[in-house]
Amino acid sequence: MPKSSNSDSFWIRHLLRRAGFGASPEDLQHYLKLGYEGTVEELLHPESVNDDALNHKLKLQAFDYTNIDDLQRWWTYRMLSTKRPLVEKMTLFWHGHFATSDRKVKNPYAMYVQNMLFRKLCMGNFHEMLLAVSKDPAMIVWLDNQQNRKGKPNENYAREIMELFTMGIGNYTEKDIKEAARAFTGWQAPATGFFFSKGQHDYGEKTFLGETGKFNGDDIVRILVAQKATSNFLARKLCKFFVADAPDEALVQRIGQVYMDSNYNIKSMLRAIFTDDVFLSNKSYHAKIKSPAEFVIGTLKLLQINELDAGIPQAMEKMGQSLFKPPNVKGWDGGPAWIATDKMMQRFNFAAKMSTGRFNEVLKQSTPLQIVEKQGLNNSREIVEYFLALMLDSDVPASTQKRLITYVASDINGNPVDRIPDEKTLDAKLRGLTHLIMTLPTYQLS
């Protein structure tokens, strides 16, 4: 870890990479004034933050929510420009947790409605979230509850609500799945939204996880959220998402207990995560591989780019994360899967496009040369130290820093020079420098 790791600034940057998508230098100054604890509280209370600038920008774009390409651009705009970063990060978490894909739903507007549901309830009560998702039209179509009828139950949603959304495998039986499926009969989603079909519901007695009654879907949700297995399952997923790809088991148990003690409150779990000693230690620092969304949006923020080229969502898709189209009901695997050989090549391709300006609009707004001029950097060492601090917390070996300084302090042919002779050569060198930094192993980590 860098020498600066004891500073408030260091841990605020760490927090912003995890609880958001990093921060631009301007946004970072705002959070530095708040301090670490103040930053945590502002992130956890988004209602206290004015986000009118984002809403105005979205209106100007006039996105069509019935078009999946527009929908992907709409969300990437939110990730990039919001003043409430934890809301968008939690919306992404729930999108991966309750993984629903438009490839099957084939209704972008229903996906938009679900995404807004995640955003609204993202830090509230898990009981409320699970019940709302169970009635969400996109989810009902995705897991076939449209076909779940009295006398002919469809078990898809009943199985996944236990295996993937609450307790995890090993904590229920096949009989529990069958009984839960009966409870969810009649939960349908016509074009007008959720509809409970009384004639298709099984009103008979059911025994589920040791409890017996004439249960419906509401009862199944109530029983599931109260299970100890659910507390640990959800805590582990949150810790994996926010702390480390292989989270500390003692931390998982602590966060699971917070879930139970707070009556299933997600905000309480997040506060406990962000203030835990494990989160603020080398067990967490650079212990997570960036998702494509974190890699792409974080880069745009660091390079102070405020607008999006239309190809940005497609770049993320090539890296393995297509918004509104997770690969299956389990969502994205994450972790090492993000940097498989083919996915790494796409990261390098993105770095090359960013550094050469091959995205149509992106680097017309802010170039590394403009950043250097704004900062008043005068020599190769200052330039390299600034960009390493900006993009990597200076967390690179001294040998790497030395090689980068040598690279900047040379002409276009690689020959050492006392000073770079012209603006065109300096511009090419600085673009090359950002490209090299983006391809370093450490830059793949948050």
pLDDT at 305: 84
pLDDT, one tens digit per residue, over 140-197 is 999 999 999 999 999 999 999 999 999 999 999 999 999 999 999 999 998 789 999 9
Residue 409 placed within a domain: yes
pLDDT, one tens digit per residue, over 79-126 is 999 999 999 999 999 999 999 999 999 999 999 999 999 999 999 999
Total domain count, the chain:
2
**pLDDT, the chain, mean:** 93
Residue 378 placed within a domain: yes
Quote the tokens at residue 231.
Answer: 């507390």
Residue 372 placed within a domain: yes
pLDDT, one tens digit per residue, over 37-96 is 999 999 999 999 999 999 998 999 999 999 999 999 999 999 999 999 999 999 999 999
Sign of CA dihedral 90, 96, 97, 98: positive
Contact call for residues 185 and 148 (beta carbons, < 8 A)? yes
Quote the tokens at residue 371.
Answer: 């950043």
C-alpha angle 401/404/405, rounded to 5°?
85
Residue 7 placed within a domain: no
Gyration radius (Cα) of the chain, Å: 24
Distances (CA, A) of 135 to 37, 65, 126, 288, 355: 37, 21, 14, 33, 45
Residue 389 placed within a domain: yes
Quote the tokens at residue 378.
Answer: 């005068």
Residue 238 placed within a domain: yes
Give the end of a domain, one of 274, 302, 330: 274
Residue 420 placed within a domain: yes
DSSP assignment of 424-441: HHHHHHHHHHHHHHHTSG
Q: Which domain holds residue 379?
A: 368-444
Residue 425 placed within a domain: yes
Contact call for residues 157 and 144 (beta carbons, < 8 A)? yes
Quote the tokens at residue 341.
Answer: 């050989």
CA 406/CA 423 separation, integer angstroms: 18
Residues 6 or more apart from 29 whose CB is under 8 A from it?
Answer: none
C-alpha angle 373/374/377, rounded to 5°?
55
Three-state DSSP class for residue 58: helix
